[in-house]
Chain A
């Protein structure tokens, strides 16, 4: 990469998000602005979910296809606290994180040691069980197949979040904060341990890393974040029902992470745009739209098997002459 291109790239990297955050101002003018903003909010929500899944799947390398279970936990926690006890939405946010995290602890504890595909099917099992429980109105808390309605909109310091552009900012600011936090996490001792576990669990164990504890921690963090996404989802939709938390939703998140480039935050964001955006853009194909989406998914994987932006191999500075032999991978 030449220097010039590098500079161009840096500029784009900064300019892109800035422009993106200015979008609502432009979109207010156009007729379909609210729709596009809502779509972008939905993309942001899935980016949030996928970033949280990325900790589990991308960093710790655990095949987890049941993330919708934790998403649901957060959404139903918020809905119940809001509807029954009148809590404000923002106050339920930490509780949603807590309950989802706790749930992750309880369900993941016995199965965390399972290898790849066995863990995958167990997590699918978990999301199915959760959906069945929601449908059967477990403990009378979920409203059964109809779900719960009339959930309040959030407000921050008295400012009510109601319009599409409010949600746009709420969600994308959360995405931004999450990216910063997870970036820091990735490069912390914890993140390095996860990376080690992903590359070689046995060696990591041998080096004295408590792999079970670290894996469990990654699971809990990811789940807690999904729970918070659930809070936002519940208050944005104002009605939640079991359909929104199906196995298919878990698959969507899984696809976003792998398609974007498992382990890379920018890749995950890009993946969210594609996976959430393409079916909407294909609306003109009418009943062929999912067909086109499926074909696009296959094509993208074939042409970019590492995902659209694979993570750069990490380089840990050592005074070594071989350093320059390992240039960064795909750049996004």
Chain B
């Protein structure tokens, strides 16, 4: 019996694989009169929140377009590729998307994940618009069809350093979390501090996913800084604020755009979060363009909450500029890229005006300084 089962098991498995592969191969039935746009997003894995929000936002926008009759009469079809937050999965997701006849791809979030997919899109000639990948070198490779709606680390580092200086702080302590985003931002900020003659008194990493930062805080305190610059993400920032208060230490803290998330206040508590600064593109609460207001209304009705961060909104922007380009120049990738480089000027996006430079980076000042007030609200400064 053992042999019998194995033999048939083997056959069944082979057939199963062959069948599904055949299914996969033909999955791409081109519906006449539609235009396919890919989304590469981490809908599973450690960054699943961001990925799922990205998809939700874009789905709402696509539905809206389709309800109005599509782009030049073509229905928008979305093809979602989960990158799992891992470069390996991303490479497969990208290959799957480019072979599904997408005209352009929105995504993705993590810089190293985007990096693993760039070549594949470039070789296939598909336009890619990254939405949360802020690492500088992504747009320094000379890829003609790579764009991003998020600003770069050096831009944010510059604003962060400027604001710290403007606020009159002299002895910053820089803390990052060794992810590519946070490390990049920390390095940029540090470099600019140095240029401006501001020496940091502390520079070290915490471990993302950790929950206890008491030791790090006591080490930082020993250096007696007048401000903590934290370049990591909101879950850690929230806990640092909370534990800082537990230690009875009231040094101010400033962070980057990854801390622009209301959960920060929930985690820290309004009292501990009060006085916290961060620089960020305007968050969902402050995006008052009519398009954004409308999007958030639909989003709230559908999911009972707002997108948790600005990144998914930037994904919405990426989708919108693709839609805009398709309306103007049709669904040829090369023309879309050309249009985005040369002809798209000050497009009214969800997060403000959008134009791209020759590297595909977004032009314009997007960063604002925020401060948390005692009620836990994010208040735009000046």
| With A32-B27, A243-B87: A149-B183 Cβ-Cβ less than 8 Å | no
B116 touches A237 (CB 8 A): yes
A1 to B1, CA, bound (A): 8
Q: B158 within 8 Å of A by Cβ?
A: no
B17 touches A273 (CB 8 A): yes
Q: With both chains docked as a complex, state the minimum distance between the C-beta of A267 and any C-beta of chain B, in angstroms.
A: 10
A39 to B20, CA, bound (A): 13
A270 touches B13 (CB 8 A): yes
Which residues of B have CB within 8 Å of A274? 13
- The listed residue (A33, A149, A273, A287) touching B99 by CB distance below 8 A is A33
A239 to B5, CA, bound (A): 43
B112 touches A34 (CB 8 A): no
Which residues of B have CB within 8 Å of A240? 87
Q: A86 within 8 Å of B by Cβ?
A: no
Q: Interface segment, A110-118, A169-177, A277-285?
A: A277-285
Scan residues 117-172 of chain A and give those whose CB is less than 8 A from a CB of chain B: 135-136, 144-147, 149-150, 164
B2 touches A146 (CB 8 A): no
Which residues of B have CB within 8 Å of A150? 141
Q: Interface segment, A77-85, A95-103, A200-208, A324-332?
A: A324-332
| With A16-B14, A135-B178, A243-B86: A35-B95 Cβ-Cβ less than 8 Å | yes
Which residues of A have CB within 8 Å of B52? 287
Binary contact readout B165-188 vs A (1 if CB under 8 angstroms, 0 otherwise): 000000000000011100110000
B92 touches A147 (CB 8 A): no
Which residues of B have CB within 8 Å of A273? 13, 17
Q: Is the interface of A mostly helix, strand, loop or mixed?
A: helix
Binary contact readout A1-22 vs B (1 if CB under 8 angstroms, 0 otherwise): 1000100110010001000000
Q: B44 within 8 Å of A by Cβ?
A: yes
- Chain B's closest residue to A146 (CB) is B180
Q: A244 within 8 Å of B by Cβ?
A: yes
A34 to B26, CA, bound (A): 13
Which residues of B have CB within 8 Å of A39? 92, 95
A144 to B178, CA, bound (A): 8
A239 touches B99 (CB 8 A): no
Q: B10 within 8 Å of A by Cβ?
A: yes
Scan residues 226-246 of chain A and give those whose CB is less than 8 A from a CB of chain B: 237-241, 243-244
Which residues of A have CB within 8 Å of B25? 27, 30-33, 36
B24 touches A35 (CB 8 A): yes
A1 to B13, CA, bound (A): 20
A32 touches B87 (CB 8 A): no
Which residues of B have CB within 8 Å of A16? 14
- The listed residue (B6, B86, B99) touching A309 by CB distance below 8 A is B6
Which residues of A have CB within 8 Å of B96? 32, 35, 283
Q: List 30 A-B contacts (CB under 8 A).
A: A9-B7, A12-B10, A16-B14, A31-B25, A32-B24, A32-B100, A35-B24, A36-B25, A135-B178, A144-B178, A144-B180, A146-B135, A146-B137, A146-B183, A147-B112, A149-B137, A149-B141, A243-B112, A244-B86, A270-B13, A274-B13, A281-B20, A283-B96, A287-B48, A287-B52, A290-B44, A330-B3, A331-B6, A331-B7, A332-B10
Residues of A participating in the B interface, judged by any CB pair closer than 8 Å: 1, 5, 8-9, 12, 16, 27, 30-36, 38-39, 42, 135-136, 144-147, 149-150, 164, 237-241, 243-244, 270, 273-274, 277, 280-281, 283, 286-287, 289-290, 308-309, 328-332
Given contacts A270-B13, A330-B6, 20 further A-B contacts (CB under 8 A): A1-B4, A5-B4, A9-B7, A30-B25, A32-B99, A32-B100, A35-B96, A39-B92, A144-B180, A146-B135, A146-B137, A239-B87, A239-B115, A244-B87, A283-B82, A289-B44, A289-B82, A308-B9, A309-B10, A331-B3
